[in-house]
C-alpha cells in the first residue's frame, strides 16, 4: 500500500511542476508583452530598411539589359511585405492590450487575450529576426534565360490571315517539311503572317531551342545574317564579330547542328546560301529544324528548295470589307446613310490588298459626307497616286518589285499591261504579239520571240506582278496597275508617257491636242462611236481603240502618226477601214479581230513593215483582194482562225476566199518570212493544199475546219504532220461521221505533241474522238451538240491492239472538259483515269452519261469543279461509295 501511496504522490508532483511551468510560461507572454511590442516595432523598421536596400539593388540591376531578379530575392521581398502587414496589425492591437495589464505588468484584466496576443508578438519577433538573417544577399539579379522567341510587335490580326496561319502552322508540324516559302505581292501581309508564326511559338509549347528572326531585304549581306543569328545563340561579341565569314559559319554550325531551331527569314529577293551562313539545312536527315521565309517571288521558293510553298493571296471581298471597316471606324461609316454603300465601292478599289485597304481606310476615317466619299472614288479611279498615302506609302513599296525585275525590257513589258482596263483578262498570245510589235522582243525568229514572251510572263507571274487569268490569259491586280500608271505618268513620264482611259465609260475621245507627246494611248473598252478629229502624234508607238462602238474614223486620222507600231481595232463596229491607214508606214502589228470589217482595202499594201495581221473571227469579212496578202512581204504572223464565216459562199472572184481556200494557200506560199498562221478551211481540197506544203505545215498553229460538206470522213492522222498545231476546231460539219486513224501498234508516229485545245461543235453525225488519246499535252476539250456521239473514246478501236492502250496515259494534262448537248453520250473513257490537272468538268444535257471515269485516285487534289443539273448528278453511278463522297463537295448545280 505504501508503494501505491508513493506512486500517487510522485504523479501529483510531476503534474504540479508541469502546471507551474505552463503558468509561468504563459505569464511570461503577458509579462513581456509591452517589451516585445516595442522590440517588434524597432526590428520591423530595421527589416524595412534592409528590404529597401535590397530593392534598390534589384532596380539598378534590372536596368541592365536581360537582367532579372533572383527567385529567392523575389520570395524574400514578398515574405517581408507579408510579415510587415501582419506585424503592423499586431503592433496596433498591442497598444490596446498593454492598457489591460495590471500588477506591474504581471497580470491582465483579460489574461486570455493578453496571453494570445503576447504569444503572436513573440512569434512575429522571431520571424522578423529570421528574415533579417536571410536578407544578406551577395547577388540579387542575374542574366535572364532567353525565351525561345522574341515577341514581335504586331497590329491587330488582319482578318483573313488566320486560316493561312493555321495552314502554315500545320505544315510546320510535318516531319517531312523543313523549308517553307511564303510568297505574294508587296503589301499582301507576308511579314504579318511571319510575325504571327514567330509569336505563336511563345503561345504554343514547343521543344525548339531557338526561334531566330532575320530581316534580309534586297541588300543581302551574309555578315548581317550571321551577326543576327550569332546574337541569338550567344556568339556575338567584339572579337567574334571581326572573324571571317567562313569562321563564323563554322561557329554557328557547331551550335545549331546540336539544336532544334526555327529560322524566320523576312523579305528574300534572291537565294540565300544557308550553308555559307552556317545554318544546317533542314531535310530528310535533319527534319527537326525549320526554315520559313517570305518573298515576293515564287521563283525564290524554287531557288531556296522549299519543301512547301504558300501563296499569300489578297483578301476575299468579305475579309477586305471587314479590314477596311475596322480602319475607317463606325463613326465615319454611320455619319450618313449613303456612306456605307460608297465605302464598299472604295474598299473594292483596293482589290483585297491589305496595305491598300489599311492606308485608304485610315485616310477616309475623317470623311463624313457622301460628297467626300464620292470624290474619293473618282480620285481612286482616275488619279490614284494623288490619294492620301497611296503615292507616298503603297506605290513606293510595290515599286521595289518593279525595280527588281531583271531588265528594262521586262519592266517595259509590265508597264504595257497597264494599257488594259481594271480586272481585264489579257490574252497571253495577243499580249506577246503587241510586245513583239513594239520591239521589246528581238530574237532571231518568231517562234523564239514568242517563247521569250512566255518566259517574261513567267517572270512577272512568279514576281506576283501578274496573276493567272485562266484559259491562256493573265490579269494585273488593280493596285499593281495603279502603281504602273503612277510610274509612267509621274516618275518616268518623259520616257514612257502613257495616256490611259481604258474602261472608264467614255462616249467621246479625249481632245487630241493632249496626245502630241504621248507614246502609248489606250481608249479601249469604252462607248466611243467616231474619231472625227485629226491627231498629231509623232511619238506614238501603240494605240488601243478596241472594244468601242467605232463606226467611223476620219480618213486622215492616222496621217500624223509616223511612228505607230501597234494598232488595235478589234471588237469594233467598223465595216471598213479609212484609206488613210496607208500612212502608217511604221506599223508592225494590226489587230482587226472580232470586228465587223467586211473588206480589206487595197491601201493596206502600203504597210510594208507589217509583221502581224490578226483577222480572227472577222465573220463578216468577205473580200481580201488578190495580191494584198502576198504584197505584205515582211509578214511573219497571219491569224485567220474563225475569219470570213460567210466568205466562201459570197466571195467574188477577185477575193482570195473564192474557191474554198486554195487561193489563200497560194498567196501565203509567197511570203518569205511567214512563221505563224491560223486558218479557217471549208473543203478537203483546201486542207490538202495546206498539208502538201512543208512551209505551211510548219507554220500552222490553229486550224478551223468548218462546213466540210464534201466528205463523211476525215483522215485525222494527217493532221499530226502539223507539228505546231495547238488548237483544232471542227464546226458545222454536218456530214462528217468519222475521224479516221489507223489504230495499230505503229500509231505512235501520229502523235499530236503540240495540240492543247480541241473544240467539236455541231458535227451531228460524228461518233467519237478517239484520236485525242494521242494528244499528250491536251489541256481543253469542248464538245457541243454532237448528238450521235456515244463514246468520246471508243474502246472498240483498241480491241485488237491492247498493247497500244497499255502504253497510253490519256488526258494527263487535261484541265477543262466541257460536254454540252451530247444527248447520246454514254462514256468518256472505259476505265477510271487519274486526271491530275483537271479543274473543270461540265456535263449539260448529257442525260445518258451515267458514269464518270473517276475513282478514288482521280483528281487527287480535289480542286475540280463538276457542273451539271442535279437530276443528272443524282443518277450517276460510282465505282464505290468512297469515290462518290470524295467528289460530292466538287459538284456545282446548274439548276
pLDDT tens profile 576-604: 999 999 999 999 999 999 999 989 999 99
- The overall longest dimension of the chain from CA atoms, in Å, is 163
The conformation of residue 850, written as its DSSP 8-state character, comes to -
* C-alpha–C-alpha distance, residues 522 and 530, integer Å: 15
The C-alpha atoms of residue 823 and residue 347 are separated, in whole angstroms, by: 46
- Tell me if the pTM is above 0.75: yes
* pLDDT for residue 112: 61
Give domain limits for the chain.
23-143, 162-311, 317-382, 411-496, 708-895
Q: For residue 66, what pLDDT is reported?
A: 65
- What was the pLDDT predicted at 575? 92
Q: Crossing angle of helices 162-172/190-203, nearest 10°?
A: 60
User: Residue 413: in which H helix or E strand, if any?
Assistant: helix 408-416
CATH number for the region 411-496 comes to 1.10.10.10
| 657 contacts 644 by C-beta, under 8 angstroms | yes
Q: What is the per-residue pLDDT for 107?
A: 57
CATH number of the structural domain 162-311:
3.40.50.300
Residue 2 is predicted with a pLDDT of: 40
CA 740 vs CA 711, 767, 771: distances in Å: 12, 11, 8
Q: How far apart are CA 537 and CA 562, in angstroms?
A: 8
CATH class of 708-895: alpha beta
Fold agreement (411-496, 708-895): no
- Residue 181 · residue 310 · CB < 8 Å: yes
- Predicted pLDDT at 14: 43
Count of Cβ atoms closer than 10 Å to residue 452 Cβ: 18
Is 542 in contact with 430 (CB distance < 8 Å)?
no
- What is the pLDDT at residue 377? 92
Q: Is 64 left (phi over 0), alpha (psi -120 to 50) or beta?
A: beta
The reported pLDDT for the residue numbered 12 is 47
The pLDDT of residue 109 is 53
Task: Find the Cα–Cα–Cα–Cα dihedral 107, 111, 116, 120, rounded to 10°.
Answer: -20
For residues 553 and 744, what is the distance between their CA atoms, to the nearest angstrom? 58
Q: Nearest Cα to 497, choosing from 527, 538, 463?
A: 538
Q: What are the residues whose beta carbons fall under 8 Å from the beta carbon of 24, sequence distance 6 or more?
A: none
* Alpha-carbon gap, residue 87 to 126, rounded angstroms: 11
Cα–Cα distance, 652 to 72 (Å, whole number) = 106
- pLDDT value of position 47: 87
Around Cβ 405, how many Cβ atoms within 10 Å? 19
Residue 197, class by beta-carbon neighbours within 10 Å (0-12 exposed, 13-18 middle, 19+ buried)?
Answer: buried
User: Which distant-in-sequence residues (6+ apart) come within 8 Å of 69 by Cβ?
Assistant: 58, 61, 62, 140, 141
pLDDT for position 284: 58
Closest CA to 466 of 442, 484, 441: 484
**Beta pairing, strands 727-731 & 738-740:** unpaired
- Ranges under pLDDT 70 in the chain: 1-34, 66, 94-115, 144-146, 156-159, 205, 283-287, 493-494, 645-655, 657-662, 743-749, 799-806
CA-angle at 449, arms to 445 and 451, nearest 5°: 120
Amino acid at each position: 500500500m505504501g508503494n501505491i501511496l508513493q506512486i500517487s504522490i510522485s504523479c501529483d508532483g510531476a503534474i504540479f511542476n508541469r502546471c507551474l511551468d505552463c503558468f509561468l510560461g504563459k505569464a511570461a507572454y503577458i509579462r513581456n508583452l509591452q517589451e516585445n511590442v516595442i522590440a517588434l516595432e524597432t526590428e520591423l523598421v530595421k527589416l524595412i530598411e534592409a528590404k529597401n536596400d535590397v530593392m534598390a539593388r534589384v532596380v539598378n540591376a534590372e536596368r541592365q539589359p536581360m537582367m532579372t531578379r533572383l527567385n529567392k530575392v523575389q520570395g524574400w521581398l514578398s515574405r517581408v511585405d507579408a510579415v510587415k502587414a501582419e506585424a503592423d496589425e499586431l503592433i496596433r492591437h498591442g497598444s490596446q492590450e498593454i492598457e489591460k495589464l495590471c500588477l506591474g505588468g504581471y497580470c491582465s484584466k483579460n489574461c486570455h487575450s493578453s496571453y494570445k496576443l503576447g504569444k503572436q508578438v513573440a512569434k512575429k519577433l522571431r520571424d522578423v529576426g529570421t528574415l533579417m538573417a536571410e536578407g544578406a544577399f551577395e547577388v540579387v539579379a542575374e542574366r535572364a534565360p532567353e525565351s525561345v522567341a522574341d515577341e514581335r510587335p504586331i497590329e491587330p490580326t488582319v482578318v483573313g490571315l488566320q486560316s493561312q496561319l493555321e495552314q502554315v502552322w500545320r505544315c510546320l508540324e510535318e516531319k517531312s517539311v523543313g523549308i517553307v516559302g511564303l510568297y505574294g505581292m508587296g503589301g499582301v501581309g507576308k511579314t504579318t503572317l511571319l510575325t504571327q508564326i514567330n509569336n505563336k511559338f511563345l503561345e504554343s509549347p514547343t521543344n525548339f531551342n531557338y526561334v531566330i528572326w532575320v530581316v534580309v531585304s534586297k541588300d543581302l549581306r551574309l555578315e548581317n545574317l550571321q551577326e543576327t543569328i550569332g546574337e541569338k545563340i550567344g556568339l556575338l561579341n567584339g572579337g567574334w564579330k571581326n572573324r571571317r565569314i567562313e569562321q563564323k559559319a563554322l561557329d554557328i554550325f557547331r551550335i545549331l547542328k546540336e539544336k532544334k531551331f526555327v529560322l524566320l527569314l523576312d523579305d528574300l529577293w534572291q537565294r540565300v546560301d544557308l550553308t555559307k551562313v552556317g545554318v544546317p539545312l533542314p531535310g530528310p536527315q535533319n527534319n527537326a529544324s525549320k526554315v520559313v521565309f517570305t518573298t515576293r517571288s515564287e521563283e525564290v521558293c524554287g531557288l531556296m528548295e522549299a519543301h512547301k510553298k504558300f501563296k499569300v493571296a489578297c483578301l476575299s471581298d468579305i475579309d477586305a470589307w471587314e479590314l477596311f471597316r475596322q480602319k475607317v471606324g463606325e463613326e465615319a461609316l454611320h455619319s450618313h446613310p449613303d456612306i456605307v454603300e460608297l465605302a464598299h465601292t472604295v474598299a473594292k478599289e483596293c482589290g483585297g490588298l491589305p496595305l491598300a485597304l489599311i492606308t485608304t481606310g485610315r485616310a477616309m476615317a475623317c470623311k463624313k459626307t457622301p460628297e467626300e466619299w464620292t470624290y474619293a472614288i473618282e480620285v481612286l479611279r482616275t488619279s490614284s497616286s494623288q490619294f492620301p498615302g497611296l503615292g507616298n506609302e503603297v506605290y513606293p513599296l510595290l515599286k521595289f518589285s518593279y525595280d527588281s525585275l531583271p531588265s528594262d525590257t521586262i519592266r517595259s513589258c509590265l508597264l504595257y499591261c497597264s494599257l488594259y482596263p481594271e480586272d481585264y483578262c489579257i490574252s497571253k498570245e495577243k499580249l506577246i504579239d503587241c510586245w513583239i510589235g513594239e520591239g521589246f522582243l528581238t530574237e532571231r525568229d518568231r517562234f523564239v520571240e514568242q517563247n521569250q514572251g512566255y518566259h517574261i510572263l513567267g517572270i512577272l507571274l512568279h514576281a506576283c506582278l501578274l496573276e493567272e487569268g485562266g484559259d491562256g490569259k493573265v490579269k494585273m491586280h488593280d493596285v499593281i496597275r495603279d502603281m504602273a500608271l503612277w510610274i509612267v505618268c509621274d516618275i518616268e513620264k518623259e520616257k514612257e508617257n502613257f495616256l490611259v482611259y481604258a474602261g472608264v465609260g467614255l462616249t467621246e475621245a479625249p481632245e487630241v491636242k493632249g496626245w502630241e507627246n504621248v507614246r502609248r494611248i489606250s481608249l479601249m473598252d469604252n462607248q466611243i462611236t467616231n474619231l472625227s478629229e485629226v491627231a498629231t502624234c509623232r511619238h506614238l508607238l501603240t494605240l488601243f481603240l478596241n472594244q468601242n462602238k467605232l463606226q467611223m474614223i476620219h480618213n486622215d486620222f492616222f496621217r500624223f502618226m509616223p511612228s505607230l507600231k501597234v494598232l488595235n481595232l478589234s471588237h469594233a463596229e467598223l465595216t471598213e477601214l479609212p484609206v488613210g491607214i496607208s500612212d502608217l508606214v511604221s506599223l508592225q502589228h494590226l489587230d482587226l479581230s472580232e470586228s465587223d470589217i467586211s473588206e480589206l482595202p487595197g491601201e493596206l499594201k502600203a504597210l510594208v513593215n507589217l509583221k502581224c495581221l490578226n483577222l480572227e473571227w472577222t465573220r463578216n469579212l468577205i473580200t481580201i483582194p488578190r495580191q494584198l496578202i502576198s504584197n505584205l512581204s515582211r509578214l511573219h504572223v497571219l491569224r485567220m482562225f474563225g475569219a470570213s464565216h460567210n466568205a466562201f459562199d459570197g466571195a467574188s472572184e477577185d477575193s482570195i476566199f473564192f474557191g474554198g481556200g486554195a487561193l489563200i494557200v497560194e498567196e501565203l506560199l509567197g511570203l518569205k518570212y511567214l512563221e505563224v498562221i491560223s486558218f479557217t478551211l471549208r473543203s478537203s481540197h483546201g486542207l490538202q493544199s495546206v498539208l502538201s506544203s512543208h512551209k505551211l505545215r510548219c507554220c500552222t498553229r490553229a486550224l478551223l475546219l468548218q462546213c466540210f460538206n464534201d466528205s463523211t470522213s476525215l483522215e485525222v492522222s494527217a493532221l499530226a504532220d502539223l507539228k505546231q498545231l495547238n488548237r483544232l476546231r471542227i464546226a458545222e460539219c454536218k456530214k462528217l461521221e468519222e475521224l479516221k486513224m489507223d489504230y495499230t501498234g505503229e500509231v505512235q508516229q501520229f502523235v499530236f505533241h503540240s495540240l492543247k485545245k480541241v473544240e467539236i461543235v455541231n458535227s451531228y453525225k460524228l461518233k467519237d474522238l478517239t484520236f485525242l488519246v494521242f494528244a499528250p499535252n491536251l489541256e481543253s476539250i469542248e464538245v457541243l451538240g454532237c448528238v450521235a456521239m456515244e463514246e468520246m473514246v471508243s474502246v472498240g478501236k483498241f480491241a485488237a491492239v491492247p498493247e497500244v492502250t497499255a502504253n497510253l496515259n490519256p488526258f494527263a494534262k487535261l484541265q477543262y472538259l466541257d460536254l454540252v448537248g451530247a444527248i447520246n453520250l454514254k462514256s468518256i473513257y472505259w476505265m477510271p483515269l487519274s486526271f491530275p490537272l483537271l479543274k473543270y468538268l461540265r456535263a449539260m444535257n448529257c442525260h445518258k452519261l451515267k458514269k464518270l471515269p473517276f475513282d478514288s485516285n482521280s483528281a487527287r487534289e480535289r480542286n475540280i469543279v463538276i457542273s451539271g443539273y442535279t437530276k443528272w448528278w443524282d443518277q450517276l453511278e460510282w465505282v464505290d461509295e468512297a469515290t462518290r463522297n470524295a467528289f460530292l463537295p466538287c459538284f456545282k448545280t446548274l439548276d
